[in-house]
Each structure stands twice: as structure tokens, then as C-alpha cells.
Chains A and B, each alone.
Chain A
Amino acid sequence: MELSPPTSYSRRASIVLFPRIPKSSSPERVVVTGAGVVTSLGIGWLANEAGFRAGRTAFRPVTLFDVSRQRAKTAAEIDVPAELPENSLSEKARSRLDRATRILLLAAHEAWARASLGSSENIPVVLGTTSGGMALGEAYSRQTLDRPKTNWRQATRLAHYQAQLQALELGQALGFKSQVTILANACASGANAIGYAFEMLRHGNADVVMAGGYDALCQLTFAGFDSLQALSCTTCRPFDARRDGLSLGEGAAVLILETLDHARKRNAGILGEIAGYGAVTDTHHLTQPHPEGAAAYLSMQKACDCARVTSAQIDYVNAHGTATIQNDATEALAINRWAGACAAKVSVSSSKGNVGHLLGGAGAVGALTCLMALRGQWLPPQAGLTEPEPLCQFQLVRSPTDARVTLAAANSFGFGGANATLILRRWP
């Protein structure tokens, strides 16, 4: 078969990864036209909106793996439905989907449906995850140790535990055929994915991008955080003076991001705007934040600079707020410093008190919580809070509150020092 000769790059720049010539020299505005979410609060925007607004929590004893020898016993497990929404996967392919992919697909389907776009074929996808389909990897490992000469199901497990296969399955299900970028920046993965997509659009390198983050519970990660003594043995209470650690959760949030120009041309319903993104690396320690929150402060500041807003203009911060002693203390210092004289006016809460730490999904769910607050004009209360951490100079939201919210920030600070902040703006 004779290949047709390629044309020169200048004519094909729009369909190569590099170089991509921006369509204009001024940055595009980036809006959200679709959003989907799955957490232990429920499947979909409505269930999660109601849960976050009311300050509900959704933790329960872990059933997915044995925790009898762990210090902590609870997590925010999802009741993943057996049936998936309509998609293009074959029956066989659907039967092989692992838990994490099912969770991701549920969120992505909702986001895609809401965006009401036509073809998904040429839309890039950017995802953040920390462990992909790790439960399959664990099953593979167990069998290699217990039954080393048995290959049954091993090839399938190996293939499907890898995040790129999960992404391709998502693409196959919903018709996405363009580039897939997967970022693994620990707990900031979801925020980094949305941020990277935002930058792609802002620079005119795409008109529409699907971006989000996800992770499912797995034994390795649960045991890992327990080994660090980072898990709470009581209740997850972000920014509480008596907090004793985080609770893990699982979930996904996916956004459809578009340039404003593209959204307007098709009269799209706009849910909100991604106004800014800041990302830095905290080099203090592999797993612990800088004690004064220096990198966290910088992340927030950079996001504001990108959005061309000041901290005084931010009405609400969805904090990283894991409920570990260290994170909440350093994040409190960072927010205090960033907000400065206006600290007392900034409202803060963390979704992790409701649905636990979703790792790769956390930053995306945090951003989506901001979106909900902006659209509904309410502030999510801090679940689990009884006595505020004395370091907090800002307002922790104590109860469900209606409020005027125009700008919100979502923080994500991960292992390896990956720090990211997203700024979202209300769309009138």
C-alpha cells in the first residue's frame, strides 16, 4: 500500500502535538460547558450538589478489601451501579471494566451529555490519576505470589490496570479519538489535568477539551496512608483543632472545557469559567508540606495572577484540607498569608470532610464543588468541624449558607510537592 506523501507542517500544524500555532496572540477565555461527578455522596451533579450543600458525610466501613489489620477501618466507598449509561463499548468490553474505569465513565458520560456537543472524535482528553486500575494490579501481584505458574486472567489484569487503557476505554465508550494525556501528580493530578487543559485552550491549541480526575479505593494506597499514620481512626475533620487524619475516598469529576468563543458560537449553556491556574513544586519533602506553607501560598498567588484577580476578590476557597495535622496547619498559614488583611472575609471549607480524599479525583471534585457553589450561590459547610483550628484566620463555613459567590479557588497539594490552585468564576 502506497502511503500518500505528507504535506508540510505549516498546513498541518493544527493536527500535530508540536508545533501548534495559536490562533490569536491574546489568551482565550475558558468556560465549562459540561460537568459530571461521582462520589460516595452519589452518582451525578444533583446528588452531590445536595450532599455538599447540606454538609453530608458519606463514610462507612471498608468492604472492598481486608482492613482487619489496619489502624483505620473506614473510607468513602461508592455504590457503583451495575448498569452503565449508554455507550459504545461491546458487551465483552463492558464486562471487563474495572471499578476505577466505571467510576470515570459515569462522570465523563454526565459531563459529555450536559455539554451537548456533536462529535467527540477530535476532542483531546486530559486525565489525572494516582493509581489507575491499581486493584487489578494488586490481583495480578497476588496471583504471581500465590500461584506463580498460573497465567489465568493475568494478561487482562495487566492490560486494564494501566491508566492509558482506562483512558482508551473511555474514548471507545464515548467516541473520543484524539490525544489522551494522563498526568500522575499524586493528589494534585486532577487539578493539574484541568489546569493543563485550561492552558491548552487559553493558548488556542484546542477549542474543546475533556478534563478531569479519578481514583478508586485500593488496598495498597489504603495501607500506604495507614503506614504513614495519616488516616483518621475517628472522623475526618478538616481544620478542626482535634483532627487526627484523613479518610480516603474514591470518585471522579470530569469537565468539558471550551473556549468562550467556541461556546458562544454554538450557544452552549455555560456553567462557569476557569479564570486562572497556578502550579508549583514544593521541594521541602517527598510527603510533607513546607511547614510555613510557602509553596501553597505561591500556588494560590500564581493562580490569582493568572486570573488577574486579587485574593480580596476570592469569596470561597475549597481547601485541600485533608484533616492531617500538618496539611491543615500549613494550608491555614498559606491561606492567611495569601488573603492578608482580608483573611477574615474569606470563606473556606474542604470537600474531604464529606467524601474523603479522592487522590487523583480530589482536585477535580474540589473544582466542581466550587462550580456548584458559584452556580447555586451557596457555601459548602465544613463537615466534621466542631472546634476550628486556632491558626485559621479565615472563616470556616460552619453551616449551609446562602451567599454571594463570584470567584472561588480550589487548592490541591500532593505528595511529591505537586501544588495546584484553580480559580473559577461565576457565569451570570
Chain B
Amino acid sequence: MSAPRVYVRGVGAVSPAGWGAAALVAALENAVPLPTIPLARPGWDKTVATRPVPTPATRPAFLQHARLRRAGPISQYAVAAGLEALGTDTAEVQAGHLKLGIVVCVMAGGVSYSRRFFEEVLRDPLTASPLVFSETVFNAPASHLAAFLGIDTAGYTVIGDDGAFLQGLAMAAQWIAQGDLAACLVVGAEEVDWIVSDAMRLFDRSAIQSGGAGALYLSGKASDNASVQLSAVTDSFNYSADQNRTKAARGMRAQLPNGAAGELLCSGERGSPRADRAERSAWEGWPGLRQTPRTILGEAFVASTAWQCVAACQWLRGGLGTAANVSIVGANQQAIGARFVLSDDPRSL
């Protein structure tokens, strides 16, 4: 039996570069780390450096939807990226002509509302806001997205480290390949909050937190423009006493083709020698081009992984090559990789 084909029909992104995949790609092509914005950290004189999503030039129309007016930033980013990825198929979905699944992947999740609510609880639980609490659930973004699109197919929220986005892609792709769904939107989203930036410095003082979302619209049908295909998602190589990050990263790389000069590696390297050691070791000798979005855009965990995938797909759509690998050596769970190809590439299977 031949491997099933799953295509990337659309991509979407909200990032520190701006609202839209084009802004993300432009920032990566520019290859200069984006400026940071200081964020106050209560109890400290110093601020923390972050790369938040900029305020859009015009308020997106979808924010008028009843479900999104009070939603947290993470939900707004997820919906924006998802709608961009769906493109003109949004109308098909809303009309009920397309059976679309939703998978949203997060690591920290709706942390700003969770932090706010818990602070209210500590001050006086009797006055803690139920409106804020409602938005703290991990699956709030998936719920808002489904409500906006008016779909009742099962939605899933996958939590984990950065690699969770590739797990979500694999889930969605497998459902499509099995015929359970015609198409699936896979979104990775995170938001900036001082408590996360504060947390990150405990593990890597050079890390700069960023926020936003990335989305891939997967389908069993190719789109009219360049046909980018999700060729594979590797196994998930969990960290353990027997499998450290380096071993896990090498296991992941061993499941992907050796690569060729014209191929792209979109890696999860952060620009920190210590944090990147395992991933660099695994990809030593990579013959093709390299891109490291986190060094430009900052660290947004699952959203960063989604941006890597968006960047890989847009690179292929731009006719710059025929295959791209996405590599993740995640924060604390797994090493995992994915491969995207132009569908006629014989190396795709």
C-alpha cells in the first residue's frame, strides 16, 4: 500500500514580525533579530526583554465576533493564523461544505489570563472574575476557532513542549490519510507574559520570549498553486535517563533523509550554544541551507515550531527548493522532526 498524500493547502502566521505569513517570511529573509520590547516584571527594577506581537494597523474584523471580544491574546492569534491558512476555503467551511477538524497545540497556553485570575484569587477569591477564569482553559482557542467557523467536528488541544505542534500535524495528517476528515487546521499558539519570560531566564538567560501563532491547513487535495506536501513526521524521541537530548536529536535525524544541497533545514536552534548543542550535533554535516527562525523572532515554544513549518512551506512554494526538514529538539519532552516536499519530488516517500 502506498503512503497517503497530505497537502498543505494554506499557511497562516501571527508573530513579532506582524500579522500574516508574509511578514514572517520577510523577517526571516532579512535575517536580523527583531527588536525587543521591555516588559515590566513586578517586584523588579529591571525589565525583561520580549518580542510581542505588534498591534495590527487595522483591528481585524474577526475580533467583532461575540466569542472573541473578551478572548485572550492566544485565542486571537490562533484564530487569525487559522483564518489566513484557510483563505477562501473559510466560506466553504462556514457553509458546511467541508468537514474540517481543528487541532490546537500549546505549551504555556493562555497564561496571561491564568496568571491574572490566580492573582485575583490570592487577593480575594470572592471577587475573582469568572469571565477571566473561563479563558484559562487550554482548549479556549480551539473552542473560539470552532465557534467562529461554525463547525461541530471534534476539536483537540494537544499540550506538550515545542514538539507538540509536530505531534498535532501527525494526528491531523493521519486522520486525513485514513479518510476520517477531509481537511484539518493545525495551529500552534502562545502569548507573551512576564511570568513566562521570568520563568525562561531560570533555564536560559539569553532566551527572549515571543508570542503569536502559526497555522497549517492540511488537506487530502492539493491547492492550485505549488503543491507542498507533508511527507512525514518522525517518531517522538522522548527525553529520559536513557535518552538524553543529544541521543534523542540524533534519533530524530536518523529518521529523516540525509538531505541534499538544495534542501532546507528549518531548525529550532535558539542562538544559545548550550541550548542548541544537541540539535547542532544532530545536524552536523547537513549539506543544504539552514534557517533558524527562533534567532530572529524569539522563543514562542509551540508557536515557534509552527512558524518553522510555515517558513518551510513558504520556502517550497516560492520555488526555492524541493524539500525542507523541520527539526525540533524541544524544551523538555522530545526531539521530533517533519519533512515537507513539493509533491512531485521522488524523495518524498
Contact = CB atoms under 8 A, between A and B. Distances in A.
28 contacts: A1-B250, A3-B253, A9-B231, A9-B232, A18-B173, A18-B177, A69-B126, A70-B125, A130-B137, A138-B118, A141-B119, A148-B41, A148-B44, A154-B199, A158-B202, A165-B332, A177-B240, A184-B158, A186-B138, A196-B171, A223-B128, A281-B142, A286-B67, A415-B143, A416-B155, A417-B143, A418-B155, A420-B154
Contacts of A165: 332-333
B327 interface: no
Interface residues of A, number: 82
Given A10-B349, A180-B333, A184-B138, A168 B169 contact: no
Contacts of A179: 167, 235-236, 238
A145 B43 contact: yes
A227 B132 CA distance: 10
Contacts of B114: 220
8 tightest A-B CB contacts, nearest first: A148-B43, A416-B143, A279-B154, A184-B138, A17-B170, A224-B133, A416-B139, A18-B170
Contact of A141 (B118, B133, B135, B143): B118
A19 B202 contact: no
Contact of B258 (A5, A415, A417): A5
- Residue of B106, B167, B169 with highest tally of chain A CB at under 10 A: B167
Given A144-B198, A281-B143, A16 B234 contact: yes
Interface of A: 1, 3-6, 8-10, 12-13, 15-22, 69-71, 130, 132, 138, 140-142, 144-145, 148-149, 151, 154-155, 158-159, 162-165, 167-168, 171-172, 177-186, 192, 196, 199, 203, 205, 219-220, 223-224, 226-229, 279-283, 286-287, 295, 298, 414-418, 420
A416 B137 contact: yes
Contacts of B135: 286
A22 B160 CA distance: 26
A186 B129 CA distance: 19
A167 B253 CA distance: 23
Given A6-B254, A70-B126, A220-B117, 13 more contacts: A3-B285, A19-B3, A19-B232, A148-B41, A154-B202, A167-B333, A181-B160, A223-B125, A280-B152, A283-B151, A286-B144, A417-B146, A417-B155
Contacts of B44: 148-149
A126 to B, nearest CB: 10
Interface of B: 1, 3-4, 6, 41-44, 67, 102, 106-107, 109, 114-115, 117-119, 121-122, 124-126, 128-130, 133-140, 142-144, 146-147, 150-161, 164, 166-167, 169-171, 173-174, 177-178, 180, 195, 198-199, 202-203, 230-236, 238-243, 250, 253-258, 285, 332-334, 336, 349
Contact of B235 (A16, A69, A138): A16
B153 A281 contact: yes
A21 B3 contact: yes
Contacts of B107: 162
Nearest to A286: B134
B145 to A, nearest CB: 10
A159 B180 CA distance: 36
A269 to B, nearest CB: 29
Nearest to A154: B202
Nearest to B141: A416
B167 A183 contact: no
Nearest to A93: B241
A148 B231 CA distance: 47
Nearest to A4: B254
- Residue of B117, B150, B155, B243 with highest tally of chain A CB at under 10 A: B155
A159 to B, nearest CB: 6
B169 A18 contact: yes
Given A148-B41, A418-B139, A171 B1 contact: no
B157 A69 contact: no
